[in-house]
Chain A
Amino acid sequence: MRRSILLAAALTTTLALAACSSGGSGDETTDEPSAEDTSAAGSLTVWVDETRQDAVTAAAESFETETGTSVEVVLKNFEDIRADFLAQVPTGEGPDITVGAHDWLGELTTNGVVAPLELGDKAAEFEDVSIEAFTQDGQVYGLPYAIENIALIRNTLLAETAPATWDEAVAAGQAAGTQFPILVQSDGDKGDPYTHYPFQTSFGAPVFTQNEDGSYSSELAMGGPEGQAFAQWLGAQGAAGVLSQDTTYDIAVEAFKNGQSPFIVGGPWMIDSFEGMDLSIDPIPTAGGQPAQPFVGVQGFYLSAESKNAIVANDFLVNFLSTEEAQLALYQAGNRPPALTSAADAASAGDPIVAGFRAVGAEAVPMPSIPEMASVWSFWGVTEAAIVSGADPVPTWDKMIADIQGAMGS
C-alpha cells in the first residue's frame, strides 16, 4: 500500500516537474512521442533555420488543420543541421524532415540517413535542374524548393550593355573609369572556387565528368589542356590586377554599392545590399569561349530514413510543401527563385531580378553532391588563389589535380 502511494507521489512529482519545465533551447532533442500520447493523426518534427521558419510554420499550420497531424517546427542554425542530422538520425532522436542543401546528398546517402522520396508525376512540375540536383542513381531524395546561382550583376548607370566576353567586360569596366573593372570575390589565400567556376567551365573544364542523367561521376575533368588554359588565364588576370585574392566578399559588395565597378559576379543574397540601385542581371561573360556555367545550389527538404512517421512526412512534403502557395511563401522568406515551375513563373513575372537569375540558372549545372567533392574543395580554392597571386599556373594546377586524386584515393 505504502509503495503504491509512493509511486503515485513520485509520478505526480515528475508530471508536475515536467509540466513546469518548458521545452528549453532549440537544440535539445525532442522526446520521441510515446505510444500513448501520439495522437491518432500522427505527429511530425521538422527542422528549419530562421529564414525558412515562418514559411514552413505556415505550411505546417495548414497541414495541421487539414489532417489533424501535429507538426513541431524546430528552429536550428543552418550550419549545424547537417552534422546534427547525421548524428541524431541513427539514434532515432532526429527529425522526420529537415531543410538542407542538395550538395549534402552524397554524404547523407552514404551514411544511410535519408529516405528516397516518390514524387510521382509531380516531379515534372519542378524545374529540371532542381530534381536533377536531388537525384542519385535514379532516386529522388529531397523535395526541392529553391534554386540559387550566381550571375553577372550590372550597374546600368556605369555600363549600358551586357558584355558577352570577359575581355569586353574588362574593357567596359576600364572605360567606365571606376576603380575596379569587374568584381569577382575571393577570400584571401583560401580563394573562392564557387565564384570563379563559371570562368572555368567557359574553358571546358568542369570539375567532374557528368553522366547522361546529369549526375556526376567521380572522374575529375579539370585536368588536361582545358584546365591548364584556365589556370594560365587566372595567372594572367592576377598579373594584370583584374583578379585579386584580397577582394573579399565584403570588400566586393561594398565597392559595387559605392559605384566603384560596373560589374560584380554574385548571387541573389547580395541584392539586399544594393537597395535603390539600377541593376540588370546578365549571363556571366565567357572567358574561354564556351558558355560560362555557374553552379546551381538547390535547397530542399530531406526525409529521415529512420522516421517513424514516414507516411505523414511524405504527405506533408509531397502534397503540402510542393504547392505553389507554400513554394511562394518560401520564396518570400528567402528571396531565392522557387523550384516549382509555376511558382517560379509567378515570382519572376513581377521581378526582373529574379527572372534574370532564373534565366542564368537555366543554363547552369548542379553543384556536385558526391562525397568526393569534399576533397576537391580543400585544394581547389587555395590553388586558384595561389595562381592569381603569382604562382606558376600550369605546374601548380597539375599538382592540385594530383593532390585531389591522392585525397580521393585514400
Chain B
Amino acid sequence: MSAPQTTTDAEVGALGTDGPPPRRGLRAADASHARDYSPGFFVKLALMAVVDALGVYVVWSAWTAGSYGILAATLAMLVVANWVYFSKRALPLKYILPGLLFLLVYQIFVVGYTGYVAFTNYGTGHNSTKEQAVSALLIQNERRVEGSPSSTLTVVEDGDALGFAVVTEDGDVEAGTADRPLAVVDGATVTDGRAVEIPGFTVLPRDQVLQRQAEVTELRVPVSDDPEDGSIRTTDARTGYVYTSALEWDAAADTMTDTTTGTVYTPNDEGQFEAPDGSTLAVGWRVPVGFDNFVTAFSDARYAQPFVKILVWTFVFAVGSVVTTFLLGLFLAIVFNDTRMRGRKVYRTLMILPYAIPGFLAALLWSGLLNTRFGFVNEVILGGAHIPWLTDPWLAKLSVLGVNLWLGFPYMFLICTGALQSLPGDVMEAAKIDGAGRWRTWRAITLPLLLIATAPLLISSFAFNFNNFTLIYMLTGGGPRFADASVPLGHTDILISMVYSISGVDGSAQKDFGLASALSIVIFVIVGTISAIAFRSTRKFEEIS
C-alpha cells in the first residue's frame, strides 16, 4: 500500500489547524519531538500520516457499510493516537499505546462481547432483532390462494402511489394500488401478454422498479373489497400471485393475530410471540435474559454427572500433558546436552520433527494410525491385534495423552535445551568442589535454575492444553461416548469441547451461543485463577537466583 502524496499534504494541513504553529527559536532542554522539526519529527509525521490514512479509510468504509460501532471505535482510537504522538505530555503512552490498542481490540473487546452474549439468549430461534422476526413471520405465513392463477404483472404508478396492473385469464387488464382494489381498466394496451399502457396509470420503467425494489416487493394490492379474497403480490416484478396472510401484525398493540383461528400472540420475556395457551411462534428475537444461561449451565441434571467427570479429566489431561512432555523433553535435552555425544545436531534436528507437523494434521494422522482393525499400529507394529485404542474409555484417554506427548515434547526439549545451555558453569563447579554428587547437583541446582526459566512457559502450556480443542476434536471427537449419560458427551471430552457440543455449534444440537458464552466465561475464570495462583507461586524460585 503506497501512501499517495496527497496524504502528507492533508496531514500537514491538518496539523496547521490542530495546534498553534510550532515555535521557532531556541530549543528548550525538555522539548519533545512534537515541538521541533528534527528529522525524527518528519519520520514520525510520515508514520502517523500512514496510520491516519488507514484509519480514515476504515472510518469511511465503516460509514458506507453502516457499521457505526466500528466507526466510533476507530475514530476514538485515531484521536487518541494523534493526541499521544503530537502532544508534549504522555511520554509513557508513546511507548505502550500500540500494545494497549491491540489489547483492547483483540482481548478486552472479545472478552467483553462474549460476556455480553452470555447474558442474552442468542441462538437458534433468537438470531436477530424483533423487527426482523416480525417481518420473517409475516412473509413465512403468507399463503398462495390454492388454484389461483399466476398472471403477468406490470408495476404502475398512480400519482405517487405504486400499483400493479395484471392481465386476467380473459385478457382484461385490471389495475389497482394498495388502497384501491383491482378493477378492470378499459382501453389498456396489451403486448406479448403484458399490459404496456394503462389509462390513468403510468407504467414504471424497469430501472425505476429496481430502484424501488423494497417498495415493490412489499406492495399488496387487494383483489377486491373483501380482504378474505387476498391480495396480489410479486417477487420478480414480472408475475403476480394472489396471496392471503395467515398472520397480521398490529404495531400499535404490539401483537400478532392469527387470522384463521383468531389467536392473539403477545411478546413474552423470552423474545418470542406467545399465545394465551403458551404456544409460541417459531421465529423469535434476541433479548437479555440475565443469569439464565449460568443457571442452566449448573442446574441441568442431565449435565451434572458428565460435567464433574469432564472437569476432572480436563485437569488430568492438562496437567498430565505438561508433566509428561516436560519430563521427556527435559530428559532428552539433558542427554543431548552431553558434549561426549556424537552427531548431536542431527539428533536435535530429528527431535524437532513432530513439532514441525501441524497439530491438525498430526491428530488426524494418529486417529488413522490407531484405528482398531486397520490402523498401522495394530496391524503392523502389533501384528494384527485388535486393540481399541480410541474406542475404549481408558485406552482412549491414554492415546490422547500419548499423542499429545508426541506433539508436545519437542517444544519442551527446545526450551530445556536453551535453559540448560544458559546455566552458569561456576555454580556447577562450586557444587562439584563442595562434594555434591550428580543427583544432588541436579536436584539442588540444575532443576531450580531450570524452573525459573521454564515455569512461565509451563503455565502457558497448561493453559493451552486446558483448551486444546484441536487435538480432542481431530483425534477422538470426545469419544467414546458416556454409556450412562443422556447427553452427547464422551470420555475424552474436555471442557472446551463440551462447550462446543452443548452449544450446538457442531450441529449436534440446536445452537445456543448464549449458553456457550456463559460456559466460556466459566472456563476463562478457571484458567485465569489457576494461572494467577501458579504465577504467584513461581516467585519462590526467584529467591534462588
A residues apposed to B, CB below 8 Å:
2-3, 5-6, 9-10, 12-14, 16-18, 20-21, 29, 31-32, 34, 38, 40-42, 69, 83, 86, 89-90, 92-93, 107, 109-113, 115-118, 120-121, 137-139, 188-190, 244-248, 250-251, 305-306, 308-312, 314-315, 318-319, 371, 374-375, 377-379, 382, 386, 389, 391, 399, 402-403, 406-407, 410
Contact = CB atoms under 8 A, between A and B. Distances in A.
B282 A382 contact: no
A21 B57 contact: yes
Contacts of B372: 245-246
Contact of B481 (A5, A42, A189, A375): A189
Contacts of B300: 410
Contacts of A18: 57, 60-61
B213 A309 contact: yes
Contact of A110 (B125, B150, B501): B125
B385 interface: no
A311 B209 contact: yes
Contact of B214 (A40, A310, A318, A410): A310
Contacts of B279: none
B259 interface: no
Interface in B34-81: 53-54, 56-57, 60-61, 64-66
Interface of B: 1-2, 4, 6-7, 9-10, 13-14, 16-17, 53-54, 56-57, 60-61, 64-66, 124-125, 127-129, 132-133, 135-137, 139-140, 142-144, 150, 206-207, 209-211, 213-214, 216-217, 234-239, 241, 282-283, 300, 302, 367-368, 371-374, 390-391, 477, 479-481, 483, 486-488, 490, 501, 504-505, 507-511
Contacts of B486: 399, 402-403, 406-407
A378 B7 CA distance: 56
Contact of B128 (A6, A111, A374, A389): A111
A50 to B, nearest CB: 20
A181 B9 CA distance: 79
A374 B56 contact: no
15 contacts: A13-B6, A18-B57, A42-B210, A107-B124, A110-B124, A112-B132, A138-B143, A189-B390, A244-B373, A246-B372, A305-B135, A305-B139, A371-B124, A378-B501, A378-B509
Contacts of B504: 374
A389 B391 contact: yes
A113 B390 contact: no
Contacts of A32: 64-66
A17 B1 contact: yes
A247 to B, nearest CB: 8
B65 A29 contact: yes
Q: Which 10 A-B pairs have the closest CB atoms?
A: A112-B136, A378-B508, A90-B128, A111-B127, A378-B488, A40-B207, A246-B373, A9-B10, A314-B236, A42-B210
Nearest to B386: A246
A10 B54 CA distance: 11
Contacts of B483: 386, 391
B132 A306 contact: yes
Given A16-B6, A382-B479, A406-B302, A115 B487 contact: no
Contacts of A115: 139
Nearest to B146: A138
A374 B507 contact: yes
Contact of B150 (A12, A69, A121): A121
B59 to A, nearest CB: 8
A406 B124 CA distance: 18
Contacts of A312: 210, 213
B348 to A, nearest CB: 35
Contacts of A40: 207, 210-211
A93 B61 CA distance: 13
Contact of B10 (A6, A42, A138, A410): A6
From A41, A111, A371, residue with most partner B Cβ within 10 Å: A111
A247 B65 CA distance: 50
A288 B488 CA distance: 29
A309 B217 CA distance: 10
A73 to B, nearest CB: 19
Contacts of B211: 38, 40
A309 B507 CA distance: 30
A371 B209 CA distance: 37
Given A16-B6, A92-B66, A374-B509, A112 B137 contact: yes
Contact of A12 (B1, B6, B57, B374): B6
Contacts of B510: 107, 371, 374-375
A112 B283 contact: yes
A195 B300 CA distance: 33
Contacts of B239: 118, 120
From A10, A12, A113, A306, residue with most partner B Cβ within 10 Å: A10
Nearest to B12: A9
From A12, A21, A311, A312, residue with most partner B Cβ within 10 Å: A311
B545 to A, nearest CB: 47
Contact of A188 (B14, B214, B371): B371
A399 B137 CA distance: 36
Given A305-B135, A382-B481, A406-B302, A13 B56 contact: yes
From B7, B14, B136, residue with most partner A Cβ within 10 Å: B136
A310 B235 contact: yes
Contacts of A10: 10, 56
Contact of A90 (B2, B16, B132): B132
Contacts of B238: 315, 319
Nearest to A246: B373
B515 to A, nearest CB: 11
Nearest to B141: A137
A374 B505 CA distance: 10
Contact of B371 (A121, A248, A371): A248
B218 to A, nearest CB: 9
Contacts of A112: 127-128, 132-133, 135-137, 140, 283
A6 B18 CA distance: 12
A322 B88 CA distance: 67
Contacts of A120: 150, 239, 241
Contacts of A92: 66
Contacts of B241: 118, 120
Contacts of A379: 488
A31 B58 CA distance: 12
B210 A109 contact: no
A118 B57 contact: no
Contacts of B214: 308, 310
